[in-house]
A and B are shown apart, each in its own frame.
Chain A
Amino acid sequence: MSSDVRKSTDQLKRAKQKRRLQMSQETRRRRGIYNSFDVVSFAIFALILLVSVFLMSTASVNANPDHPYFYFWRHIQMILIGLAAFVFVMLFDYRRYKDWVDMAYIAVCVVLVITKLLGTGDGANRWILGFQPSEAAKVAMIVLFAAFLDKNRKQLKDPRFVLRCMVYMGVPAFLIFIEPDLGTSLVFFVVMMAMLYVAGANRRVLGATVAVVVSLIAIIFTVLYISTDGFDKALPDGYSFLVLQRYQLMRLAIFINPDMDALGSGYHIIQSKIAIGSGGLFGKGYLQGTQIQGRFLPEHQTDFIFSVLGEEFGFFITAAVLVLLMVFLLRLMNKAFFARDFYGTLIVVGIVTMMLFQVFENVGMAMGIMPVTGLPLPFFSYGGTSMLINMAAVGLVFSVALRGRKA
């Protein structure tokens, strides 16, 4: 008797489970999910986040002397909030964004204008209520631009259309540039070029654009060379060229020679290079980085988090983390091949190139092979908006992958 009862309850349970499974399959269908979740990519992602938490535990100790683990706990909170955003964005069908394209474009521009007018921040208007709209605008514009290209796919070979694209991306990029935030507006440019390239836009126009930008950079550096006596003396106060202000030009100039303003603009880059270089093969050890823990390198929990890694953990572990990031980006890039539509492919390309540029710029800056722009290192740098948006962006790629063709 008892065994029968047990049997029947087991059956009941199984049935319930089956129904639940069926329901989830229904849900999946409703949400357009055809592929299985990429566990390996998510595992790599989780490992990256764990490394970042570990790194923040040593970086935070001296960043806020009154509360040694302030940044550490906040970082974990951000990751948890980011994970929720990741799941939400992943489950949401990316194709439905197309419905709100026009409204969204206007909303992005309006928010950026408000940020410029009312925003707060140290020397720039970047913050609204503790949030950085420009970070969100990056990802939003990738989705919008992908939809824009998808909609006008047939005109891609028309040079005039390419110019239209530049205006489309240029408006929000300009609004960010005047915040001012040169780094983020550069991200817009790089992402746009990559997406146009993959979409198959007119190559001559693309080539010409690259040529114009390269010659502009050449002109700026020539002017800097003259104004700084061959990158020897700091620029005079109040100096500006075209739309660039003195501090922005100084960042470019010290990229060539940090010693020309060793205690001013060049200080960070010099100390960062010392931190990384002195790490050697095996690093100085957890909490043992003299540059970091002696506070010779300020901002090491945000823009210069990579220097913490290099100094305390040395070449092998740092290179391993870089390889981990590379594998992760390549796996995300993989999703572009199997996207269900052109739109999805472009979203993946946009997000991967955005992350690639930020990683290369941030790590390159810390090692002195890229100018200082103030871009955070995705997933590692402390910063709420950046973490939330980057995790949502990964969710977006997963969203495309879940609805993609079978591999």
Chain B
Amino acid sequence: MLKPKQPKGSTIAQGKINRRLLVIYFFIIALFVILVGRLFFMQVVQGKDYETLSDSNIYRTITLPARRGTIYDRNGNVLASSQPYMSVKVYLNEVEEEDREALAENLAALFGSDEIFEAEQAAREQMTQSSLDETIKETSRQVQQAKKDAEREAKEEEEELESDTTSSLTPTEKARLGSDAVTAKENDGEDTESESEAEEEEKSEEKTEEEDVNAAVGSLTANTKPTKEEVLDILKTGIGSYNAVTIRTYTYEVGVTIAEIVAENPDLYPGVYLSEEPMRSYPNGYYLGHVLGTVGKISDAQLEKMTTYGYKLSDIVGQSGLESYYEHYTDGGKVYSLSGQDGKRLVEVDAQSNILEVISEEAPVAGNSLELTIDLNTQEHMEDSLKRIVGEVEKEKGVGGSAVLIDVKTGGILAMASAPSIDPNDFAIGLTSEEIDYYFNDKLKPQMNRSITAGYPSGSTFKMVTATAILKAGVSPNDSVVCAEGSWAPPLAKCHWHGTTDFYHAVAGSCNIYFQKMAARIGEEALIEVGLQYGFGKKTGVDLPSEIAGLLPTPEWKSQNNTGWEKQWHVYDTYYMAMGQGATVDTVLQLASCAATIANHGVRLRPYVCQTIIDDDGNVLKTREPEVVDTIELDEDSWDTITEAMEGVVSDGGGTARNLFGSLSETLLPAGKTGTAQTGLPGDDPQHDEHGVFIGFAPADDPQVAFAGLIEYGGAGAKSAAYVCRDTFRAYFGYDVDYDIILMDDLFASESERNADSDAENEEEDEDESEEE
């Protein structure tokens, strides 16, 4: 039937036409063969590939965020927890290209409407109530002012800049800048590996900081009304992606209101939906902020490292402190994680992302919780005290300080403070421009945990190392040195008149001549050995990120980092070291660990913050046992001698901090050592720019806690860091009943003492040395 038949009686012309018709006839067949061939190729040969593409259209994996673990202090107080928040998200593939602008405008109008904006601001205020608002505003004002000043004085400064001093820094000076990168480079200690690691950490941290700013400005709540352009910019980041873009995050209550508005006007808000997401909350505000750390969007560098652990783009991860250290913590082959494991829900959707069917669901696993060794009450008092003392320091110079309290028996850290403070809530919610001015201030560096990331010369507190080395070398505590006008000839650093000084009086009165001469007698080798045993010049191994090793100079280090005459180790290097000056750079945590080691009669325990890791059901997964890192072999009598001398510092009539504890000395039995360390920083006056340092422990007969504190530019240790120690001990041992009243008295007392030329102050000045060499 298909074949054309030649009709009867066709003419020649008809025959020609028929031939041409046949051509068309076969043309039809040819075209259909092409179509069926193409169909075969697509459906049979490439069918599987197209099936995959089809599946990727309809199947979507929805992440069910895991609840981040809670952080508790030793008494079960909540330090960090996760609260439900609502994120406004947009699926851009549901929005027509020409509707984008209208959507951005509608969203901006919604976010800026009185109802939403006021509720948002109220919620924000409530969240950051305990926060640093005043400090931040003040800093922001200063920064803005500084910017203006800088612009005005730019021309004048240009000339001065040519003779910039930083380029001509000696290694010693560089090491004192308090930056890990510098210190790590200078310190060619035992393990170069860990140091390069530290450098990397530092670099990635810097990056993270920059990214944090961007992320925070972009997608989270702020204290300004969003403009249409801002919303549009965020929207545009989602072009070409099937994932939703987060526009703004709200507290749960505000989020519910927005969800209602969106549901009522689907035409105004195409592709918009709200999703509940846990967000980090820190109920105690800035207290313990540095130790707890911050969370933020995962950075590209972090993602590259952590992608093997199942982390993905736009995850919220710990960026500093414990949040970062225990983000993904491996120990003994086991993995502990604050973040837990996100769940997945596989759903089938249509082109408008309506869920048609839930195909499978994998429940999220909540993160592990941490129980810290921190005592919140002590922490709060210590931080308040630190803040007060730092605040008393002359404004221009005084920038920060740090204090650490360690449990002598275990090495657990009871309190760790760093000023200026950070409020991790600010990072979780998103930084405002004022907060950015504050947190990213180059001079203040509030984000730095000064207890472990900053290196300082420890000054006379280091004399306890020298003291231990002297006794260890077999020097009798009764051997004495004459400290008088004539015996101060260079290269010995000068001192104040102490007369004939034995061990006890040398410690109590902090006699420079005694320690310099004794150190020279036993030699630098013995001094360095004990210094290393106390843990100086290496990381303590505390469970916090960004710890630096500091620097304990050795002859090898000196020859590698200097030229000419300075390549040699000279006797004045030993003198410097004996007093904690020169190239020595320590962290406050190292000092606290040193104080605890003295209290422990030579047994050095590794300091730590996290006592136990528990799972969501409260089962203990891991408990940390005290770990002995090193032991200083010294007879008990010598330890008693050292302890007795340190008691003398705070209670003896000739002690450098003799009135510190007042009548409390009799019941508390505190022991301590003051230090007034020349900053050694370029541009500082060596005579007057000094950090105030103090270490101590109590009670002397059975030490429980050890303290170390440092106030930048605080001057005499007895008049700065020592007060923090006293307040901390009071709080810890329960003497804080009349705390506020005592504080007021102290404030008054310290003022008057400063004005009146008391004996104590004169003795303080024996820390002064000239650096005329």
**Residue of B with least CB distance to A153:** B13
Q: Which residues of B contact A197 (CB under 8 A)?
A: 20, 23-24
**Is B93 an interface residue, CB under 8 A from the partner?**
yes
Per-residue 0/1 for A307-329: is the Cβ within 8 Å of any B Cβ (1 yes, 0 no)? 00010001100110011011101
CB distance from B16 to the nearest CB of A (A): 6
Query: CA separation between A315 and B50, bound complex, in Å?
Result: 14
The answer to whether A322 touches B24, judged by C-beta atoms less than 8 angstroms apart, is: no
Q: Are B35 and A360 in contact (CB-based, < 8 A)? A: yes
CA separation between A290 and B347, bound complex, in Å? 13
Contacts of B475 in A (CB 8 A): none
Instruction: Collect the chain B residues with CB atoms within 8 Å of residue A275's CB.
Output: 54
**A130 interface residue, CB < 8 Å from B?**
no
CB distance from B95 to the nearest CB of A (A): 11
- A105 within 8 A of partner (CB): no
- Verify B352–A198 contact, CB threshold 8 A: no
- Which residues from chain A contact B51 at a C-beta distance below 8 Å? 277-278, 280
Check B44 against A315 for contact (C-beta < 8 Å): yes
Residue numbers in A under 8 Å from B1 (CB-CB): 40, 331
Instruction: List chain A residues, Cβ under 8 A from B49.
Output: 277
Mask of A250-276 contacts with B, CB within 8 angstroms, 1/0: 000000000000111000000101111
From residue 469 to 493 of chain B, which have CB atoms closer than 8 A to chain A?
none
Contact of B40 with A322 in the complex, beta carbons under 8 Å: no
Given A198-B24, A278-B50, A330-B2: A294 in contact with B40 (beta carbons within 8 A): no
Can you name the residue of chain B whose Cβ is closest to the Cβ of A357? B31
| Chain A residues whose C-beta falls within 8 Å of the C-beta of B734 in the assembled complex | none
The smallest beta-carbon distance between B5 and chain A, in angstroms, is 7
Could you say which of B7, B23, B28, B356 has the most chain A C-beta atoms within 10 Å of its C-beta?
Answer: B28
Interface size for B (C-beta < 8 A) is 46
Contacting residues, chain B, for A285 (C-beta < 8 A): none
A333 to B28, CA, bound (A): 9
Residues of A within 8 A of B36 (CB): 319, 322-323
Q: Are B43 and A295 in contact (CB under 8 A)?
A: no
Instruction: Determine the chain A residues whose CB is within 8 A of the CB of B29 once the complex forms.
Output: 326, 330
Quick one: which of B21, B24, B42, B351 contacts A273, CB cutoff 8 A?
Answer: B42
Q: Across the interface, do A200 and B16 meet the contact criterion of CB distance under 8 Å?
A: yes
Given known A264-B97, A352-B24, A367-B38, contact A360–B43 (CB-CB < 8 A): no
Give the interface segment out of A25-33, A92-100, A334-342.
A334-342
CB proximity to A under 8 Å, residues B1-42: 1-2, 4-7, 16-18, 20-21, 23-25, 27-29, 31-32, 34-36, 38-40, 42
A296 within 8 A of B: yes
Determine if B350 and A330 form an interchain contact, defined as CB atoms under 8 angstroms apart. Answer: no
CA separation between A390 and B352, bound complex, in Å?
Answer: 35
Q: Does residue A356 face the partner (Cβ distance < 8 Å to B)?
A: yes
Contact A338 B7 (CB under 8 A): yes
- The answer to whether A280 touches B47 (Cβ under 8 A) is yes
Q: Say which residue of A276, A310, A325, A353 sits within 8 Å of B24 (CB atoms).
A: A353
Query: Which of the listed residues A278, A295, A352, A407 has the most CB atoms from chain B within 10 Å of its own CB?
Result: A278
B53 at the interface (CB under 8 A from A): yes
A381 to chain B, nearest CB (A): 16
- Kindly state the separation between the CA atoms of A345 and B93 in the bound complex, as whole angstroms: 52
List chain B residues, Cβ under 8 A from A262: 240
Cβ contact of B47, chosen from A278, A323, A338, cutoff 8 A: A278
Q: Let me know if A291 and B57 touch, CB within 8 A.
A: yes
Residues of B within 8 A of A198 (CB): 17, 20-21, 24
List residues of chain B with CB within 8 A of the CB of A61.
Answer: none
* Complex Cα gap A40–B1 (Å): 10
In Å, the complex CA distance between A317 and B546 comes to: 67
**Quick one: which of B24, B39, B93 contacts A263, CB cutoff 8 A?**
B93
Residues of A within 8 A of B623 (CB): none
Q: How far is the CB of A322 from chain B (nearest CB, A)?
A: 6
Q: Are B58 and A322 in contact (CB under 8 A)?
A: no
Chain A residues near B542: list those with CB within 8 A. none
Contact of B24 with A407 in the complex, beta carbons under 8 Å: no
A349 touches B47 (CB 8 A): no
Closest residue of chain A to B49 (Cβ to Cβ) is A277
- A279 within 8 Å of B (CB atoms): yes
A264 to B54, CA, bound (A): 18
* A271 surroundings in chain B (CB, below 8 A): 57
A374 vs chain B, min Cβ distance (A): 19
B31:A356 contact, CB within 8 angstroms: yes
Contact status B21-A315, CB under 8 Å: no
* Docked CA distance A349–B31 (Å): 16
The reply to whether A349 and B24 contact each other, CB–CB distance below 8 Å, is yes
Q: Check if B632 is an interface residue, CB within 8 A of chain A.
A: no
Task: Specify which chain B residues have a CB less than 8 angstroms from the CB of A310 in the assembled complex.
Answer: 39, 42-43
Contacts A274-B54, A295-B352, A333-B24; A367 near B47 (Cβ below 8 A)? no
Chain A residue, CB-CB nearest to B21: A336
| Given A329-B28, A407-B5, A290 and B57 contact (CB-CB distance below 8 Å) | yes
A405: CB under 8 A from chain B? yes
Contact pick for B7, options A279, A363, A405, CB 8 Å: A405
Contacts of B97 in A (CB 8 A): 263-264
- The yes or no answer to A76 lying at the interface (CB within 8 A) is no
Asked if A281 is at the interface of the complex by the 8 Å CB criterion, the answer is yes
Q: Which residues of B contact A352 (CB under 8 A)?
A: 24, 28
- Per-residue 0/1 for B602-635: is the Cβ within 8 Å of any A Cβ (1 yes, 0 no)? 0000000000000000000000000000000000
Q: Contact partner of A194 among B24, B53, B57, B93, CB < 8 A?
A: B24
Give the chain B neighbours of A298 by CB distance below 8 A: 351
> How many angstroms from the CA of A40 to the CA of B2 in the assembled complex?
11
A364 within 8 A of B: yes
Asked whether, in the complex, the Cβ of A278 is within 8 Å of the Cβ of B53, the reply is: yes
Complex CA–CA separation, A330 to B35 (angstroms): 16
Known: A40-B1, A325-B32, A337-B18. A315 touches B39 (CB 8 A): yes
CA distance A7 to B637 in the complex (A): 149
Any A CB within 8 A of the CB of B192: no
Residues of B near A318 (CB, < 8 A) are 39, 43
Given A197-B20, A264-B97, A336-B21: A326 and B32 within 8 A (CB)? yes
A117 to nearest B CB, angstroms? Answer: 27
Residues of A within 8 A of B217 (CB): none
Is the beta-carbon distance between B42 and A276 smaller than 8 angstroms?
A: yes
Give the docked Cα–Cα distance between A405 and B17 (Å): 16
Contact between B50 and A276, CB atoms less than 8 A apart: yes
CB contacts (< 8 Å) of A369 on chain B: these are: 34, 38
Q: How far is the CB of B10 from chain A (nearest CB, A)?
A: 9
Shortest CB distance B97–A (Å)? 7
B259 CB within 8 Å of chain A: no
- Which residues of B lie under 8 Å from residue A294 when comparing CB positions? 57-58, 348-351, 356
Contacting pair B58 A345 (CB below 8 A): no
Give A293's nearest chain B residue, CB to CB: B350
Q: Taking the nearest CB of chain B, how far is it from the CB of A301, in angstroms?
A: 15
Q: Which residues of A contact B27 (CB under 8 A)?
A: 356
B357 to chain A, nearest CB (A): 11
| Residue among A294, A296, A314 having the largest count of chain B Cβ atoms under 10 Å | A294
Interface 0/1 of B265-304, CB less than 8 Å to A:
0000000000000000000000000000000000000000
CB nearest neighbor in B for A364:
B35
Of B20, B27, B38, B54, most A-chain CB atoms within 10 Å: B54
Cα of A298 to Cα of B35 in the assembled complex, Å? 23
Q: Which of B21, B34, B47 contacts A333 (CB 8 A)?
A: B21
Given A279-B43, A290-B58, also A323-B350 (CB < 8 A): no
B-side residues, CB < 8 A to A, are 1-2, 4-7, 16-18, 20-21, 23-25, 27-29, 31-32, 34-36, 38-40, 42-44, 46-47, 49-51, 53-54, 57-58, 93, 97, 240, 348-352, 356
Known: A330-B25, A367-B39. 4 other contacts (CB 8 A): A281-B43, A291-B57, A333-B25, A364-B35
Some 14 contacts from A to B, beta carbons below 8 A apart, are: A197-B24, A264-B97, A273-B50, A277-B49, A277-B51, A278-B47, A280-B47, A295-B352, A310-B39, A318-B39, A323-B36, A330-B29, A360-B35, A407-B7
The 10 A-B pairs with the shortest beta carbon distances in the complex, nearest first, are A277-B50, A278-B54, A294-B350, A326-B32, A315-B43, A280-B47, A295-B351, A278-B50, A277-B42, A296-B351
